[in-house]
Amino acid sequence: MATKILTEHIDVPGIETFDVYRQQGGYTAVEKALKTMTPDEIVEEVKKAGVRGRGGAGFPMGMKWSFLAKPEGVPRYLVCNADESEPGTFKDHHLMKNLPHLLIEGMIISSFALGANKSFIYVRGELMYVIRILEKAIAEAKAKGFLGKNILGSGYDLELVVQPGGGAYICGEETALLESLEGKRGNPRNKPPFPAVKGLYQCPTVVNNVESIATTSWIVNNGGDAYAAIGIGRSTGTKLISASGHMRKPGVYEIELGLPVEDFIYADEWCGGIRPGHKFKALVAGGSSVPILPANLALTLANGEKRLMSYESLSDGGFATGTMLGSGGFILFDETSCIVRNTWNFSRFYHHESCGQCSPCREGTGWMEKVLHRIEHGHGHQQDIDLLVDVSKKIEGNTICPLGDAAVWPVASAIRHFRDEFQWHIDHPTEATQPGAVYRGEMALV
Amino acid sequence: MTTESTIQFTPERLAEATEIIARYPEGKQKSALLPLLHLMQEQEGWTSPEGMDYIARMLDIQPIEVYEVATFYTMYHVQPVGKHVIEYCRTGPCCLMGGEDVLGHLKQRLGIDTGQTTVDGQFTLKEVECLAACGMGPVFQVREKYYMHLTNDRVDEIIDELSK
C-alpha cells in the first residue's frame, strides 16, 4: 500500500466536518505547532522536508518561506493559491471539496510560522460551491477556537478569508493573483520586487499552492526528516496526480514520488491501463503547458531506463527528450487522438487566457492559434510549421510572466515529436479534415 | 459618467456586502470588488452598468475601476443573459472524452449557438476554458452546480429538469 500523506482519510464519511476530521487526528498538528514549537522551528522542519511547490513551478517551499522580509510594524500575509486552472489539473479542487479542514489546518500552521495574522485563500470563482464548503469549515474551526483571537490560548490571532476569483487562468500566476486580490485586473507584476518583499498591499507575502500548504500538518506531526524519507532524491514526499484522458480510471491519485510512469499508467491501483482495445500514443505529464511526449519517451529515458514520476526523471534530457512534473496534470492520449487538433485546442486556451499586457504573448498566442486552426482545418501552407516554430521562439522568454512560455511549450513539443502529423495535415487536407481522421503514419504506439 | 442607480442590494445582500468589505484592512476595501460583483450578479443575473456604478460608490472608487475589472474576468456577464447560463468546458481533456460531440448535441437541443440566448429567455450558452474537472469530462456548469460525465442523453435530462 502506497504512503498517503494527504488523502489517507479522504473516504471517511463526514470527513468534511470538523468533528470527523478531528476524530481522525485532525488539528493535532495545530496544537503541537502552537503549543510546543516556535515559528522558526516550523520553517526549519518544512525546509528539512524538502517539499517543493505543488502548483507547478516546484520551488522549495521552505526556501520561499525563508525569503520573507520581516520589517518591524509591517503586516505579513500568507495567500493560498487555489486558482487551479491549468487544463488537465483538478487535484486542488478534489482536495478542497473533500478535505477542507486539511487546508485550513495547513493555513493555520503556515500562517503561524510566517507571522501572518490575516491570510487569504484565493479560489477560482468557478468553484463557488467549494468556496461555500471552505467558508462553512472556517466557521466550524473558529467556533472550536482554532481560528480567531488567541487560538488555543497561545496568544496567536489569525483571521482566514476566502476570496473568489473571476475566472482568469492568469490569476494562478502569483503576482497576478495578488493584483486580483487587490480588486484589479489580473495583470502580472514585474519582478523584482518579489512578493516576499512587496506582495499583497505592498507588504511581505508568501503565496503557496493548496497542496503545498496541506502538507504542513503531516510535516509538523511527523517531522521534516520523515517527509524527506518518502519519495526519491530531491523529489521528496507524495504528489497528487490528476489523471484524465484515455485511461480506464481517470481520477485524482496520491502517489509517492519516484513511482515509474509505466506503473502509474498500467497498475490497477492507479489509472488501470489504456482504455480497452486501444494503444498508448502520447502523454502530457504535468498539465497542458508542459511539453507533450510520445508514448515511448514517456515510459523510458533516452538511456533506456524507466522514467519515473519525479521532478528530475520527467525532465531528464531537457525539452529534447523530457518534460516536467508541473502541477501533476496527467493527460493520456490513445491512437484515436489527433495531436494537431489537441495542440490547436491548447493554443486556443492560451490565446483566450493571455492577459494582453505583453505584446509577444497577446499577439503571438493568437497568431499561433490561427496558424494551427488553418492546418487543422485543411488550409495549411507548406511553410506553416516553420512559421509556428519561429513565432514560438519570439514569445518564449520575452514576457513578464511565464504564460508566454506555457503557450509555446505544447506547440513546440508537438512539432518536435509529431512533425509528420502536422505535415500530413498540410499535405492531405481533404483526408485530414474527415470526421475522426487521425494520422496513422510511422509512430511508436505502446 | 455614472448613472443614477435604480439598482441596489437587497437588505440581506447589503448586510453580506458590508461583512465582505470589513474583511480587508483599513483603506483596502477595493479588494471587495470581485466578491461584490459576484454578489450583484447573483442578485440581478448580470453586472449591469447601474449595478457597477452602485458598487463603485459603495467602495468609494471610480466607476471605470469597476468596469475594467468586470470586463477582464470571464465570469461576469456584462450583457443580460438567460435564466440559466450554461458554461460549457471546451478545453482539451473534456474534448478527449467526446466534449465536442456533446456540445454539438446541446446546441441542437437548445437551437442556439455559443454566446446566444434561447428565444424564451431560459438558456444562455457560453463556452468556457477548463473547469478543473478534467477526469470527469465532458462537463458544464450552471450557476454553482457542476454537471459531469455528460452524454447526449444526460444533456437532454438536465435541460428537461432545468426547463421545469
Of the residues A300, A315, A334, the one at which a domain ends: A334
A367 domain-assigned = yes
Same domain, B35 and B57: yes
**Single-letter residue type at A143:** A
Same domain, A245 and A348: no
Same domain, A162 and A38: yes
Residue A444 — pLDDT band, cuts 50, 70, 90? confident
List pLDDT tens digits, range B41-94.
Answer: 999 999 999 999 999 999 999 999 999 999 999 999 999 999 999 999 999 999
How many helices and strands in chain B, by DSSP H and E? 7, 4
Same domain, A298 and A215: no
Same domain, A324 and A359: no
Interface of B with A in 37-66 (CB under 8 A): 37-38, 59, 61, 65
List pLDDT tens digits, range B87-134.
Answer: 999 999 999 999 999 999 999 999 999 999 999 999 999 999 999 999
Instruction: Report the CATH number that the domain containing residue A383 is assigned in CATH.
Output: 1.20.1440.230
Q: In the structure grid, which three cell numbers stand for residue A36, read together?
A: 510546543
The β-bridge relationship of strands B84-89 and A231-232 is unpaired
Give the C-alpha separation, B41 to B143, whole Å: 11
Instruction: Tell whether A331 is within 8 A of chain B (Cβ).
Output: yes
A13 domain-assigned = no
Instruction: Identify the three-state secondary structure at position A249.
Output: coil
Residues of A in contact with B92 (CB under 8 A): 87-88, 288, 331, 342, 345-346, 349
Instruction: Tell whether A165 is within 8 A of chain B (Cβ).
Output: yes
Instruction: Tell whether B129 is within 8 A of chain A (Cβ).
Output: yes
The β-bridge relationship of strands A329-334 and A280-284 is antiparallel
Residue A63 — pLDDT band, cuts 50, 70, 90? very high
Instruction: Tell whether B11 is within 8 A of chain A (Cβ).
Output: no
Which of B28, B33, B132 lies nearest to residue A124, judging by beta carbons? B132
Same domain, A222 and A245: no
B79 domain-assigned = no
- Whether A130 has a pLDDT exceeding 90, the answer reads yes
Same domain, B157 and B98: yes
Of the residues B72, B99, B117, the one at which a domain ends: B72
* Chain B: residue whose CA lies nearest to A357: B72
Domain of A312, in residue numbers: 235-334
Question: What's the whole-number average pLDDT of chain A?
Answer: 97
Q: Which of A361, A366, A362, A416 is nearest to A389 (CA)?
A: A416
C-alpha distances in angstroms, A32 versus A140, A144, A225, B57?
Answer: 20, 16, 17, 46
**Is the separation of the CB atoms in B140 and A93 below 8 Å?**
no
Is B95 annotated to bind a ligand? Reply is no
Instruction: Tell whether A119 is within 8 A of chain B (Cβ).
Output: no
How far does B112 lie from chain A, in Å, by closest CA? 22
Same domain, A210 and A143: yes
In A165-304, the DSSP E strands lie at 205-209, 231-232, 235-236, 238-245, 251-256, 280-284, 293-294
Same domain, A54 and A141: yes
- With CB atoms and an 8 Å threshold, state whether B134 touches A329: yes
Terminal Cα distance for chain A, rounded: 27
Same domain, B27 and B89: no
Of the residues A178, A200, A229, the one at which a domain ends: A229
Of the residues B72, B97, B119, the one at which a domain ends: B72
What pLDDT, on a 0 to 100 scale, did the predictor assign at position A374?
A: 97
What pLDDT, on a 0 to 100 scale, did the predictor assign at position A3?
A: 86
A7 domain-assigned = no
Same domain, A347 and A316: no
Instruction: Tell whether B74 is within 8 A of chain A (Cβ).
Output: yes
Same domain, B143 and B101: yes
Same domain, A211 and A68: yes
Q: What are phi and psi of A205, to 5 degrees?
A: -145, 140
List pLDDT tens digits, range A245-283.
Answer: 999 999 999 999 999 999 999 999 999 999 999 999 999
Instruction: Tell whether B34 is within 8 A of chain A (Cβ).
Output: yes
- Whether B1 has a pLDDT exceeding 70, the answer reads no
B149 domain-assigned = yes
A443 domain-assigned = no
Which of B28, B65, B91 lies nearest to residue A349, judging by beta carbons? B91
B78 domain-assigned = no
B23 domain-assigned = yes
Same domain, A29 and A64: yes
Q: Which of A418, A203, A412, A17 is nearest to B24 (CA)?
A: A203
How far does A263 lie from chain B, in Å, by closest CA? 19
A325 domain-assigned = yes
Q: How many structural domains compose chain B?
A: 2
**Is the separation of the CB atoms in A224 and A45 below 8 Å?**
yes
Same domain, A69 and A183: yes
Residue B33 — pLDDT band, cuts 50, 70, 90? very high
Same domain, B64 and B91: no
Is B130 annotated to bind a ligand? Reply is yes
Is B134 annotated to bind a ligand? Reply is yes
Q: In the structure grid, which three cell numbers stand for residue A428, read together?
A: 492531405
* Percent of all residues in chain A with a pLDDT value above 70, rounded to a whole number: 100
Instruction: Report the CATH number that the domain containing residue A217 is assigned in CATH.
Output: 3.40.50.11540
B28 domain-assigned = yes
Same domain, A240 and A389: no
List pLDDT tens digits, range A303-354.
Answer: 999 999 999 999 999 999 999 999 999 999 999 999 999 999 999 999 999 9
B4 domain-assigned = no
CA atoms within 13 A on the CB side of B156: 5
- With CB atoms and an 8 Å threshold, state whether A182 touches B28: yes
Residues of A in contact with B55 (CB under 8 A): none
CA angle centred on A232, ends A229 and A234, rounded to 5°? 90
Give the C-alpha separation, A13 to A187, whole Å: 41
Same domain, B93 and B158: yes
Global pTM value: 0.97
Which of A129, A165, A288 lies nearest to residue B92, judging by beta carbons? A288
Same domain, B58 and B92: no
Instruction: Report the CATH number that the domain containing residue B29 is assigned in CATH.
Output: 1.10.10.1590
Alpha-carbon torsion (A124, A81, A217, A138), positive or negative: negative
Task: Name the H helices within A8-127.
Answer: 18-23, 28-36, 39-49, 61-66, 91-98, 100-114
Instruction: Report the CATH number that the domain containing residue B147 is assigned in CATH.
Output: 3.40.30.10
Of the residues A177, A212, A229, the one at which a domain ends: A229
B137 domain-assigned = yes
A10 domain-assigned = no
B139 domain-assigned = yes
Interface of A with B in 17-56 (CB under 8 A): none
Same domain, B91 and B157: yes
* Chain B: residue whose CA lies nearest to A247: B135
Q: How many structural domains compose chain A?
A: 3
List pLDDT tens digits, range A380-401.
Answer: 999 999 999 999 999 999 999 9
A183 domain-assigned = yes
Burial class (CB in 10 A: 0-12, 13-18, 19+), A420: middle
Residue B6 — pLDDT band, cuts 50, 70, 90? confident
Q: In the structure grid, which three cell numbers stand for residue A50, read together?
A: 524538502
Same domain, B91 and B124: yes
Domain of B20, in residue numbers: 11-72
* Maximum pairwise Cα distance, chain A: 73
List pLDDT tens digits, range A83-113.
Answer: 999 999 999 999 999 999 999 999 999 999 9
- Whether A2 has a pLDDT exceeding 90, the answer reads no
A111 domain-assigned = yes
CA atoms within 13 A on the CB side of A351: 20
What pLDDT, on a 0 to 100 scale, did the predictor assign at position A142?
A: 98
